[in-house]
Chains A and B, each alone.
Chain A
C-alpha cells in the first residue's frame, strides 16, 4: 500500500544525544515536510523540501536539520537533543511544490527527551 512510513514509532532519548528520525514515501511526491505536534498547539512546520536536493526552514527550525538526497527519503536530525524537543513528529508529503495539493501524513514518531 502506497504511503509514508516513519521510524522509529517511539523513542526515549537522553539529553545531548544525536537522533535521526526517518521518513520514506513511495508516492513519488515532490514536496516533503516535517512537523511537530505539541498539546494545545497546532502542528508547527520544522523544515520542508520542495524537491530532491533542496530544503527550507519552517516556523521552528532551530536544533533540527534535514537532507533530501532523493525523492523518497527525508530524514530529520536532532544534533544534540534537549527536553523541549519532546514532541510527536509527523512527516508529510504532497505531490507538487508550492501548490495547494493535499498533504499526506505518516504515522508519527513520539520522542521523549530526558
Chain B
C-alpha cells in the first residue's frame, strides 16, 4: 500500500530552527510537495522537489532523497505566524497526490 509518515506534532521556540521529516512508500514517484495549513484554512503550496537535494526558498528549505524515500522541511528564524500544520504529499505514478496526516507545529515565544 501507499504510505506517508510524518510526526503528529512538534514544538519549537520563536527564532529557532525546526526540521519536519517525511518518509514515504508509494507506487511510483512524480515529486514531493509540502503545503502549509493554518487552522481552519485551506492548504497553501510551499515547495516541490522531484530531484535529490536541497531547495531553498527564503526561510524555508526542502530536501529530498529518493533512494531513502525521505524528505524534510526546514524552517529557519521561526515566527509566531509559522504556527500551522505542514502537510507532506507525494505524487504517484498516476499523478495523484498521496497525503500525509500533517505535522502540527507549535511555536512558543
**Known contacts A100-B91, A104-B45, A107-B42; is A44 also within 8 Å of B30 by CB?**
no
Closest to A103 in B: B97
The reply to whether B30 and A100 form a contact with Cβ atoms under 8 Å apart is yes
The reply to whether A43 and B87 form a contact with Cβ atoms under 8 Å apart is yes
Give A90 to B50 CA distance when docked, in angstroms. Answer: 25
Task: Determine if A40 is an interface residue (Cβ-Cβ < 8 Å).
Answer: yes
The reply to whether B48 and A44 form a contact with Cβ atoms under 8 Å apart is no
Place the interface of chain B in its size category: 20 to 34
Q: How far is the CB of B28 from chain A (nearest CB, A)?
A: 12
The reply to whether A100 and B101 form a contact with Cβ atoms under 8 Å apart is no
Q: How far is the CB of A88 from chain B (nearest CB, A)?
A: 9
Query: Which residues of chain B have C-beta atoms less than 8 A from A84's C-beta?
Result: none
- Give residues 57-98 of B contacting A (CB, 8 Å): 87, 89, 91, 94-98
The reply to whether B87 and A42 form a contact with Cβ atoms under 8 Å apart is yes
Partner of A100, one of B4, B31, B99: B31
Closest to A108 in B: B42
The reply to whether A105 and B31 form a contact with Cβ atoms under 8 Å apart is no
Query: Which residues of chain A have C-beta atoms less than 8 A from B95's C-beta?
Result: 97-100
Query: Which residues of chain A have C-beta atoms less than 8 A from B102's C-beta?
Result: 42
Closest to B41 in A: A107
Partner of A41, one of B31, B45, B101: B101
The reply to whether B43 and A43 form a contact with Cβ atoms under 8 Å apart is yes
Give A105 to B96 CA distance when docked, in angstroms. Answer: 15
For the complex of A and B, the 5 pairs showing the least CB-CB separation, nearest first, are A42-B99, A105-B42, A43-B99, A98-B95, A102-B45
Q: Interface residues, chain B, CB within 8 Å of chain A?
A: 4, 30-31, 33, 41-45, 48, 50, 87, 89, 91, 94-102
